[in-house]
Amino acid sequence: MSGHSKWATIKRKKAATDAKRGAVFTRIIKEMTVAARMGGGDPATNPRLRLAISQAKGANMPQINVERAIKKGTGDLPGVRYEALTYEGYGPGGTAILMDVLTDNKKRTVADIRHLISKYGGNLGESGSVAWQFENRGTLTIDGTGVAEDDLFDVAVEYGADEIEEDEGQFIITVPAEQAYHLQSALEERDIQVQSVEVGLEPTSTVDVTGPDVRRLLQLLDALEENEDIEKVYSNCNIAEEELAGYSTPI
C-alpha cells in the first residue's frame, strides 16, 4: 500500500462499514454546504455539488436534508459556518500525515486530532512540516460496467490524465487537480457514471512501514477517518501486501 491512492482504495472497500456509523450523513451535508457556498446552488453548473447530491442519494439521505444543506450554503437559510483547515503530523514508522478539516469548532477539532495521534504513537506537527512531501492531484473513480477503456482513455487524455488504473470493476483516473471537475462533467456528458471525485494530495515519495508500526498506523488512519470534522486523510506510507494480511478494520 503506498500513499493516498492505495489508502483511498482501502477507504472505498470499507465505505459500507463507515455508513453504518452515521458519520457519512454529516460529511455529505458539510460537503454540499461548502460546494453550494463556493459554486452556487445549481447542480447543473456546479459539478462538485452535483457529485455530493449523488452521494447523498446513494446514502439514502432524505431530500429535505439535501435541500436544507444547499440553502445553508447559498445563504438562503441560516446555518453553521464551517472553517476549512489543514493539520499535519507524524504517524508510526515516521510517516507523514495530512488532514483536511471542515469544522465549526477549531479548538475541539485540534484537541481530538492531537489526542488520536498521540494515542497511536505519533505527534502533531507545525504548519508546513510535512506538506512539502505531497502534491495536489485529482482522482476520479468510474463504474467500469459497460465502459470501454479506449473511450475512457481518449476523454481522460484530453484533460491531462497521467494514469488510468483498473481495480475490481472500477477505473481510477489521476489528473491535475484543476481538471478533475471538468473531466467529471465531460464523462457525465458521455453517460459515463462517475462514482467519486477527490481533489487532494499525493505523496511525492513514500516511507516503508513494517512490523508493529503497521497496525498502529492503520488504527490511527481509521480513527482519523471516523472523526466527523476530518474530511480527508493523506499519508505517505508504503505497506507491503503481506503486512496487511493480518489487519482488519475494527468496527
Structural domains of the chain, count: 3
Q: Is the pLDDT of residue 181 over 90?
A: no
3-class DSSP state of 45: coil
Instruction: Place 98 in a pLDDT band, splitting at 50, 70 and 90.
Output: very high
145 and 199 within one domain: yes
Q: Look at residue 146 and tell me if it is in a domain.
A: yes
70 and 17 within one domain: yes
3-state SS, 117-183, equals HHHCCCEECCCCCCHHHEEEEEEEEEECCCCCHHHHHHHHHHCCCCEEEEECCEEEEEEEHHHHHHH
199 and 87 within one domain: no
Q: Is the pLDDT of residue 4 over 60?
A: no
Q: For 204-250, write each residue's pLDDT tens digit.
A: 999 999 989 999 999 999 999 888 888 889 999 988 887 777 665 44
The model carries a pTM of 0.70
Q: Look at residue 250 and tell me if it is in a domain.
A: no
194 and 208 within one domain: no
Instruction: Look up the CATH number of the domain holding residue 182.
Output: 3.30.70.980
Q: Look at residue 185 and tell me if it is in a domain.
A: yes
Q: For 69-82, write each residue's pLDDT tens digit.
A: 999 888 888 877 77
Q: Look at residue 251 and tell me if it is in a domain.
A: no
Domain range holding 64? 3-74
Instruction: Give me 197's grid cell.
Output: 471525485
- Average pLDDT in the chain: 84
Instruction: Place 200 in a pLDDT band, splitting at 50, 70 and 90.
Output: confident
